[in-house]
């Protein structure tokens, strides 16, 4: 069942000489209780992107749709509908309709500089009208979307082939084996097309 939706997913400088700064740092290290060392800012940041990934994806979804709708408004193309499934089982995150084109869109994301080079995609997306995948690359501090990666075809041609590489579960079973996810395929980032901006994305989506 579908409904209209607005959703869709440290440095510090010290005073004094270098010697004094070194001494202060050494003293701070000595004052730390054993086994209770503070994680580096980079580790704290990376942890947030992992532990709060659901919140991050929701925020990015809102940011993407806001950017898309603002562009459509400014372009005078206001015949757009945004729909989201009540049940997450169809292989897509959001449905976009404009210019008599219906797109089932799977959203993926990674921050700039991330080592992520592939994503798992449900084969169910192949059975949706004009299914496509949109990979958002964003700034890890502000979540500002900086680049769009596109995997899809012209309207009316459906989703391109996902390849034959079957994905695996991220967690191992009791035997230490990561079972296959037979209904999912691995798609490499190199298979995506880099788009210049939101206007090029709209052209890909709706022609």
pLDDT band at residue 27 using 50, 70 and 90 as cut-offs? very low
Number of domains, the chain: 1
Within a domain: 48: no
Higher pLDDT pick, 177 / 104: 104
Check if the beta carbon of residue 198 is closer than 8 Å to that of residue 67.
yes
Mean pLDDT of 79-102: 93
Grouping H, G, I as helix, E, B as strand and the rest as coil, residue 138 is strand
Within a domain: 68: yes
Check if the beta carbon of residue 162 is closer than 8 Å to that of residue 91.
no
Could you report the per-residue pLDDT of 64-83, keeping only the tens digit for each?
999 999 999 999 999 999 99
Within a domain: 12: no
Within a domain: 155: yes
CATH number at residue 97: 3.40.1350
Residue 136 tokens, joined = 């958002």
Virtual torsion, Cα 143, 148, 151, 154, nearest 10 deg: 130
Q: Domain of 103?
A: 57-206
Shortest CA distance to 150 belongs to which of 97, 92, 108?
108
Is the pLDDT confidence value at 138 over 80? Answer: yes
Residue 140 tokens, joined = 């890890």
Grouping H, G, I as helix, E, B as strand and the rest as coil, residue 86 is coil
Within a domain: 22: no
Within a domain: 176: yes
Q: What angle do CA 141, 142, 144 make, to 5 degrees?
A: 125
Could you report the per-residue pLDDT of 152-179, keeping only the tens digit for each?
999 999 999 999 999 898 888 888 888 8
In this prediction, residue 24 carries a pLDDT of 39
The pTM assigned to this predicted structure is 0.73
Within a domain: 86: yes
Within a domain: 184: yes
Shortest CA distance to 151 belongs to which of 185, 183, 113, 114?
185
């Amino acid at each position: 069942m579908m409904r209209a939706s607005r959703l869709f997913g440290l440095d510090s400088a010290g005073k004094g000489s270098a010697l004094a700064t070194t001494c202060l740092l050494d003293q701070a290290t000595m004052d730390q209780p054993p086994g209770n060392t503070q994680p580096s800012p980079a580790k704290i940041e990376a942890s947030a992107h992992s532990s709060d990934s659901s919140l991050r994806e929701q925020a990015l979804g809102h940011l993407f749709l806001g950017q898309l709708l603002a562009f459509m408004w400014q372009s005078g193309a206001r015949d757009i509908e945004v729909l989201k499934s009540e049940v997450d089982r169809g292989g897509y995150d959001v449905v976009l309709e404009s210019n008599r084109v219906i797109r089932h869109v799977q959203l993926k994301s990674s921050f700039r500089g991330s080592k992520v080079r592939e994503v798992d995609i449900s084969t169910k997306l192949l059975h949706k009208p004009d299914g496509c995948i949109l990979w958002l690359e964003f700034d890890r501090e502000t979540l500002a979307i900086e680049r769009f990666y596109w995997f899809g075809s012209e309207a009316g041609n459906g989703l391109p082939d996902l390849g034959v590489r079957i994905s695996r579960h991220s967690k191992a079973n009791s035997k230490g084996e990561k079972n296959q996810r037979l209904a999912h395929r691995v798609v490499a980032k190199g298979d995506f097309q880099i788009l210049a901006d939101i206007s090029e994305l709209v052209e890909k989506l709706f022609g």
